[in-house]
Chain A
Amino acid sequence: MKNALFHCCQPRVFLKQGESIALLFHHLDIGFVEIKEFNCCGYPLKNINFLSYVTASARNLALAAGRGLDVVTYCSCCYGSMKQVSHLMDNEKTLAREVNATLRQEGLKYQAGVGIKHYLEVCYDDIGLSALAGMVKRPFKGMKVAPQHGCHLLRPRRTTRFGDAAQPLIFEELIGITGARSVDWPDKRVCCSAPIWGVNDQVAMGILTRKVENADQAGADCLCTACVNCQLQFDKVQKMMAADRGLDRPMPSISYIQLLGLSLGIDSGALHLDDHEIPVNGVMSFL
């Protein structure tokens, strides 16, 4: 099944991960299609109007289904939203009817069976660890990485089903083939606090500080994120609060796209590493 690349709304202004992942996919020979008509996955609307959230993701899945495509994304929030909505649409008939009535006005229909993948799954399942390891040109030597999946990649497990086990090791293994070593840190699966940034900054900063200190204590040299929003928290927001919270050694954070890309030999400028608020030269020195 060919993939439709789903873009998270946030990176257009901030991280440009959309461009980086396109570059990575070209390098890995993963084919994908752009659907211009995709809308927001609806995640930010969940608080205010649940139906609009479901309709938003259902529309995206309907667009992909109409073209016979699966969806691949690089944001855990988008991933989790689409997974949850497809689960709801498949199981709640009344809701599905109401949503389809709205989509019908545009000539669209939600259809079950659209594959929803995170790019980590594509790397792990479609390419495979050994094949990926074979492509690595510049391995990271001796770098310790604290992985951050992003809540919605892992929970609720009933809908996301990321990996085979309750504690999937996909991400850790993928980090491993780049030469870096992933560390097990206690706050690994804790939320980055992005959802309440802008609503309750005090609590968000508290949670974020705790996480960063935790990763530091576990011996990590940097954080590695699989979600756009986590990356924004660890980079932009950590920088914003560094002075406020007395974090004199803010921990750099890169996305797995960048980690893998660098190890494959892709230029750091092309991966937008220069745009980071917290400098990543520390990371580069391990290459």
Chain B
Amino acid sequence: MFFTIALYTSLAVFLLGLAYKVSNWFRYNPGNTGPGTPLGRLWAFIKASAAVISSRKVFVLLQALVVDVFLQVRILRESPLRWVSHMFICWGFIFLLLFHALDHFTLNRWVAHYYPTLNPFLFLRNLFGAVVLAGVFLAVYRRFFMKARPVLTNAMDKYILVLLAVVFVSGVALETARLTSRTEFAFMVADYAGLDEAADEEEIADLERFWVQEFGLVSARVQRPFDADALAAGKRSHEMFCAECHSSYKWAFMSYGASKAMGSTLALRLDKARVLSSLWYLHILSCFIGLAYLPFSKMFHVISSPISLLVNSVQDNDKSVPLNIATRQAMELDACTHCGACTQRCAVGIAFDVIANVYVLPSEKIAAAKALAAGRRLSEQELTTIVDGFYLCVNCNRCTEVCPAGINLQEMWFATREALLKRDVASYYMLSKLSFSRGLNRSVLSEEDYHKPLVRMRQEVAAEFKRIDGQAGAIHLSHFDPATKKRLSLSLQGETSSSCFTCTTCSLVCPVVANFEQPRQALGLLPHQVIHTTNLGMLNLAIRSEMLWSCLGCYECQENCPQGVKVTDVFFELKNIAMDAFKQKALGHVRS
């Protein structure tokens, strides 16, 4: 009764959750592109799927199914350890789901005399249970004990490892409790042996002796050593009443091993306390809770990741309808398993160790992309941190190459970044070489979308680094601040600026200056003026100049300076100081 109610309740929650998650695939729009209605997207998807299945592309689909979904070659390519761990968990679980949990629908129908307590089923259940637990052990080892380039682990990662451990350990414990239980033995004898407790006492005792000897039963009623004749008699009874359904429990090596390790005293005590019953509830409930919660948890990847892999194997970015691309991206958001393979390969992952913005790491970017696509309300500070993290990416494509779920990560970053920039959440990191890739991809953006954030950034710089006296025209030198000059002694480079005697050689060799008829007008300050302004301690003036941000960093000036002023490196220092100030402002601190 309980079993049926629990099953149908969890199944209902599972199906409702599944429906909700699938509906998101036709609603979410990570790239903020021409989305259409959910029904329109569903229809476009159905049409495209039908077209694929009825064409030669179906073979591509099948190949992806075998290679990427069943054999999980993408994981193997990156890490044999992870592959073994995941194959163990994945296939061990599938076998047990099909041939243990659902054995009524599978083995019971296909096999003539099916009893779960018979071999090979008894042995195989234990084998696959052991395989899953070995996989979980490897996963825990990889997440928590391996040193090289660690991955971030969140609550959901821990949840599924705990869930798997509870389900499988409780399963083993249940079988252990059952095989050792004298109470169970008595029930089984009454139901199947047709022996009477009172009349056939000796026969039952012999059978019991046999079971203690061969099957791991624990009983206080019979004492060792066992008489050879008694065992033989017990064996005959066993063959008459039990053998049809029971192979030796020694084949259930995990449970049997556990029972031996446990010892008889503990086994008897647990039998008396009817632990068997509690273990059964634990095992069943953990399975059903896992089932009900599946669509909302990381376990959903068992559905969404294969779908992402299959869709990506056949979708052609150049030919697909934008509606289907948006749908694919929405599916990809759910396909992430937070395995961290992308983070381990990220070319700028090392920057996280210094800059501590978690959104630098690809595995964390996805969570933000999902939150944004779901329309979650985020604070301005959170949005700034996110856009900065997304911008701190060199677009090297390594994350995309290693993702075992086939997610187009680099495309997702571009789409989410541009969606944020369009919403007027801009990043100061734009004023750096990190914008190179964006520039190379100019043609996919409208002129307005491309330029707007860059213009906004310059306005922000001007607003943040105002002229100290707040006026226009000539500056009174009495406004200079000696303390700010000290800030430039952050490294050996900064200090060299004081050697400058304004020969203007740097400005004369600068290719940026040479680009203009009226360089002062276009750039605000010329290189030698930036150095001089710095020496006067007026960092604001230096930083608000276009010259600083349009500096190529080509070292022409530094190479030609007769005084050994490290002009280019001083420029880099100024830019770093500005970036630091912007970060402080974003964190809500007052700039000193």
Using a CB–CB cutoff of 8 Å, the interface residues on chain A facing chain B are: 9-10, 12-14, 36-37, 39-40, 42-52, 55-56, 59, 88, 91-92, 95, 102, 105-107, 151-152, 155-157, 189-191, 193-201, 203-204, 206-207, 210, 229, 232, 236-237, 240
B558 touches A106 (CB 8 A): no
A200 to B553, CA, bound (A): 14
A237 to B396, CA, bound (A): 18
Instruction: Let me know if B353 and A102 touch, CB within 8 A.
Output: yes
Q: Using an 8 Å CB-CB cutoff, how does the interface string of B147-183 with A read, 1 for contact, 0 for none? A: 1110000000000000000000000000000000000
Pairwise interchain contact B147-A107, C-beta atoms closer than 8 A? yes
User: Are B554 and A232 touching (Cβ within 8 A)?
Assistant: no
Nearest Cβ on chain B to A96's Cβ, whole angstroms: 12
25 A-B Cβ contacts within 8 A?
A: A10-B437, A37-B149, A39-B350, A44-B433, A44-B436, A45-B434, A46-B553, A48-B392, A50-B491, A50-B576, A52-B354, A55-B354, A151-B553, A190-B554, A191-B552, A193-B511, A195-B552, A195-B553, A199-B439, A201-B439, A201-B442, A206-B515, A207-B515, A207-B552, A236-B440
| A195 contacts B491, C-beta separation under 8 Å | no
| Chain A neighbourhood of B440, CB < 8 A | 14, 197-198, 232, 236-237
Once bound together, how far apart are the Cα atoms of A201 and B443, in whole Å?
Answer: 13
Q: Which 10 A-B pairs have the closest CB atoms?
A: A198-B439, A198-B435, A191-B554, A155-B555, A47-B432, A9-B396, A40-B347, A52-B354, A44-B433, A151-B554
> Beta-carbon contacts of B563-579 to A below 8 Å, as 1s and 0s?
00010100011011001
A68 to chain B, nearest CB (A): 19
Residues of chain A contacted by B552 (CB below 8 angstroms): 151, 191, 193, 195-196, 207
A207: which B residues are within 8 A, CB to CB? 511-512, 515, 552
Residue numbers in A under 8 Å from B434 (CB-CB): 44-45, 48
Chain B residue nearest in CB terms to A41: B347
Q: Which residues of B contact A12 (CB under 8 A)?
A: 396-398, 401
CA distance A195 to B189 in the complex (A): 84
- Identify the closest chain B residue to A59 (Cβ): B350
Query: Are A48 and B429 touching (Cβ within 8 A)?
Result: yes
Residue of B nearest to A102 (CB): B353
State whether the Cβ of B84 lies closer than 8 Å to any Cβ in chain A. Answer: no
Evaluate contact between B354 and A102: CB separation under 8 angstroms.
yes
Chain A CB within 8 A of B351 CB:
yes
**Which of B350, B559, B573 has a CB less than 8 Å from the CB of A156?**
B559
Nearest B residue to A232, CB-CB? B440
The interface residues of chain A lying within 8 Å CB-to-CB of B454 are: 199
A163 nearest CB across to chain B (Å) = 15
Known: A37-B149, A47-B432, A191-B554. 11 other contacts (CB 8 A): A40-B347, A45-B432, A47-B576, A48-B434, A106-B149, A107-B147, A151-B554, A196-B512, A197-B435, A199-B433, A207-B552
Which residues 341-362 of B sit at the A interface, judged by CB distance below 8 A? 345-351, 353-355
Q: Which residues of B contact A190 (CB under 8 A)?
A: 511, 554, 556
Find out whether the CB atom of A199 lies under 8 angstroms from the CB atom of B353. no
Q: Which residues of B contact A (CB under 8 A)?
A: 147-149, 345-351, 353-355, 392, 394-398, 401, 410, 428-440, 442-443, 454, 491-492, 511-512, 514-516, 546, 549-556, 558-559, 566, 568, 572-573, 575-576, 579
A40, B579: Cβ atoms under 8 Å?
A: no
Q: Do the beta carbons of A50 and B573 come within 8 Å of each other?
A: yes
Contacts of A237 in B (CB 8 A): 439-440
B514, B550, B552, B573 — most chain A CB neighbours (10 Å): B552
A51 closest partner in B (C-beta)? B354
Task: Report yes or no: A155 in contact with B556, Cβ–Cβ below 8 A.
Answer: yes
| Highest count of chain B CB atoms <10 Å: which of A49, A55, A105, A198 | A198
> Nearest Cβ in chain B — how far from A183, in angstroms?
20
Closest to B395 in A: A13
User: Which residues of the partner chain B approach A44 to less than 8 Å between Cβ atoms?
Assistant: 394, 432-434, 436
Contact B549 A199 (CB under 8 A): yes
Q: Report the minimal beta-carbon distance from B313 to chain A, rounded to whole angstroms.
A: 20
- By the criterion CB–CB under 8 Å, are B350 and A151 in contact? no
Question: Bound complex: CA of A151 vs CA of B579, how far in Å?
Answer: 25
A152 to B349, CA, bound (A): 24
Q: Count A/B pairs, Cβ under 8 Å.
A: 182
B515, A47: Cβ atoms under 8 Å?
no
Minimal Cβ-Cβ distance residue in B for A8: B396
The distance from the CB of A131 to the nearest CB of chain B, in whole angstroms, is: 33
Q: Are the C-beta atoms of A55 and B549 separated by less than 8 Å?
A: no
CA distance A228 to B229 in the complex (A): 87
A40 touching B149, Cβ below 8 Å = no
| Given A49-B576, A155-B558, A198-B436, A55 and B353 contact (CB-CB distance below 8 Å) | yes
Hey, which chain A residues are within 8 Å of B351, CB to CB?
42, 45, 49, 52, 55-56
Taken together as a complex, chains A and B put the C-alpha atoms of A232 and B428 apart, in Å, by: 24
B152 to chain A, nearest CB (A): 14
Minimum C-beta distance from A196 to chain B (A)? 6
Question: A105 — which chain B residues lie within 8 A by C-beta?
Answer: 353
Bound Cα distance A152, B514 (Å): 20
Nearest CB on A from B555, distance (A): 4
Q: Flag if B555 contacts A46 (CB, 8 Å).
A: no
* A56, A156, A201: the one within 8 Å of B558 (CB): A156
Hey, which chain B residues are within 8 Å of A10, CB to CB? 394-396, 436-437
Q: Is the CB of A43 within 8 A of B354?
A: no
A80 to chain B, nearest CB (A): 8
B515 near A49: Cβ-Cβ < 8 Å: no
Closest Cβ–Cβ distance, residue B75 to chain A (whole Å): 15
> Is the CB–CB distance between A47 and B572 below 8 Å?
yes
Write out the residue numbers on chain B whose beta carbons fall within 8 Å of the beta carbon of A91.
492
Q: How far is the CA of A91 from the CA of B491 in the complex (A)?
A: 11
Residues of B within 8 A of A9 (CB): 347, 394-396
**Known: A199-B454, A210-B515. Contact between A95 and B431, CB under 8 A?**
no
A45 contacts which chain B residues (CB < 8 A)?
A: 348, 351, 392, 432, 434
Contact A50 B397, CB 8 Å, known A56-B348, A207-B511: no
Once bound together, how far apart are the Cα atoms of A157 and B555, in whole Å?
A: 9
Contact of A92 among B349, B394, B492 (CB under 8 A): B492
Given A156-B555, A191-B552, A240-B442, answer yes or no on A49-B148 (Cβ-Cβ < 8 Å). Answer: no
CB distance from A202 to the nearest CB of B (A): 9
* Contact between chains at B439 and A13 (CB < 8 Å): no
- Asked whether A203 lies within 8 Å of B348 as measured between CB atoms, the reply is no
Instruction: Looking at the assembled complex, report how far the CB atom of B291 sits from the nearest CB atom of chain A, in whole angstroms.
Output: 39
Contact A195 B554 (CB under 8 A): yes
Of the candidates A46, A56, A199, A203, the one whose C-beta lies within 8 Å of that of B515 is A203
Among A151, A206, A240, the most chain B Cβ lie within 10 Å of the Cβ of: A151
Partner of A52, one of B355, B401, B559: B355
B566 to chain A, nearest CB (A): 8
CB closest residue in chain A, given B546 = A200
B428 (CB) vs chain A CBs: closest residue: A48
Closest Cβ neighbor of A43 among chain B residues = B433
What CA separation (Å) do A193 and B406 show in the bound complex?
Answer: 35
Q: A55–B546 Cα gap in the complex (Å)?
A: 28
The answer to whether B576 and A37 touch across the interface, beta carbons within 8 angstroms, is no
Q: Is there contact, CB below 8 Å, between B438 and A198?
A: yes
State A105–B349 Cα separation when bound (angstroms): 14
Please indicate the chain A residues that have their CB under 8 angstroms from the CB of B550 in the complex.
Answer: 196, 199-200, 203
Report A-chain residues with C-beta under 8 Å of the C-beta of B438: 198
Q: Which residue of A lies closest to B147 (CB)?
A: A107
**What is the distance, in angstroms, from B569's C-beta to the closest C-beta of chain A?**
9
Other-chain contact of A191, B354, B491, B511, B575 (Cβ < 8 Å) = B511
